[in-house]
Amino acid sequence: MGTYNLPRNVKGEGRILFIFSTKSLITTCFGGAIGIIFYLIFSALGMSIVGIVITLIFALIGYAIGMFKIPDTAGLEITRKTGGENIDDIIKRYIKFKKNNKKIYVFTKEEK
């Protein structure tokens, strides 16, 4: 008798605590770290609740950047061009675009 590989669902195996992928956990921690700076400032002023709320908001923004994709709808021009791509990839491309003095280099293969 031969051995056979059985297919299995491996979609959720790269997740931590079921809702975090590795990328979303890193961006959530980064957003939370920015929020902690605001928490320290507001707690020094005696408004620690405001600092906690701001920390949670920044952590949620970090989670959204790492986890979600731009929806693919034809109604808006921006979603038509970037639909289905991760938000963090779009942010990286925007930073590179600004860094290169708003120049885009396109390489094409010429067919002979």
Give the pLDDT score at 111: 66
Predicted structure pTM score = 0.66
pLDDT of 14 higher than 70:
no
12: how many CB neighbours lie within 10 A of its CB? 8
Element (H, E) at 94: helix 87-99
Q: Which amino acid is present at 69?
A: K
Q: Express each pLDDT in 30-59 by its tens digit.
A: 999 999 999 999 999 999 999 999 999 999
Residue 85's pLDDT band, with cuts at 50, 70 and 90, is confident
Residue 73's pLDDT band, with cuts at 50, 70 and 90, is confident
**Rounded-to-integer distance, Cα 84 and Cα 68, Å:** 9
